[in-house]
Structure 1
Amino acid sequence: MQLKSSRRSNRDRSDTTRAAILDAAHGLFVARGYAETSTPDIVAAAGMTRGALYHHFEDKKALFRAVAEREAGAVAARIEEATLDSLTPREALITGARAYFDAMAEPGRIRILLLDGPAVLGTQTMAAIDAANAQRTLEDGLAEAMAPKVYDQAALAATATLLSAAFDRAALEIAEGAATDLYVEAIGHLIDRLISA
């Protein structure tokens, strides 16, 4: 019984340490960018040792990937929360678009997911992270909205990738001051054309 409690306690401590390192790294990556953030800076901000960092992450790049995955997961969760109601598939896509834009407005998300992410991890890795998160919800939404049309899975994935690129570009424009409503409406027109084709 004591051994089981000790294991849980060790796991809790390990999870707490990992979360503290991720939080510190996130803050620095947002404030300074990947290139200007060093591992000594991260461990100092986290109040940890370098040994603790390297116990959880192979190197700074692996830590950045974990931060990017956590941010991508938070974006996908925001979209899924917004589209839980009894919406039509089209309404869910439009509501999901607004939720994506709102989620990307969180400080630092644009930098981590759209700017530093592809530069640091490469476009294929970032595409894989996106595919496991927001793009997955987009593909599911498109498939539902296009039903009962038979849609080849590869073509559906390609369509979602192109639409995802439009979402990303719109998020960048919104971050520069463009009106969110303008881009929600524009994305709505794109979606209408896709699902009525």
Structure 2
Amino acid sequence: MSTRLQRYDVVKRGIDIIGAGAGLVLLSPVMGATAMLVRAKLGSPVLFTQERPGLNGKIFTLYKFRSMLHVDEAKGLLSDEDRLTKFGKILRSTSLDELPSLINVLKGEMSLVGPRPLLVEYLERYTPAQARRHEVRPGITGAAQVSGRNAITWEQKFAHDINYVENRSLRLDADIIYRTLKAVFAREGINQQGHVSTTKFGALDD
């Protein structure tokens, strides 16, 4: 690793700690209100937790607010389309469901900016080039999220991720954060056409 990237990693980690810590404090009223709404509308638990691969493929537990009802075969709640309520769609479109991930950033498992942490089952499906997304910490937001989010293909997402890994800098991080805020307010790219979020990597298109 070059000296420039070493300095960048140190500075970026400092920014992550300050940013996540300040975010958890300043946004605590919003997180508290969101937690109460999730509890009232979706039930317990309030948090969605799932194992995801992070830096160098190391597995960690991701924290998010729940946005779906539990699977309930008796009620016909099996698919994501059935389980995602109007309230859940609002959580996702405003990215409020992502706020608990600030805890992951503070713990050093994630960064404010980086490739999104995907499912553990995808690890064995990556090409060597795609696997390079794990050369950096996964992020709450990333290059793919500000370039179409769930509305672009997996190949396009990975291309953005790899480009980020190869060209990462504080200036690029600042640009991604700025574009993230614009995309959130515009609620762009929330869903892939024909799906409530996106198709699984490796699944056949409908």
TM-score, normalised to structure 2, is: 0.28
Q: Which has the larger helix fraction?
A: 1
Which is higher, the Rg of structure 1 or of structure 2? 1
TM-score, normalised to structure 1, is: 0.29
Q: Which has the larger strand fraction?
A: 2
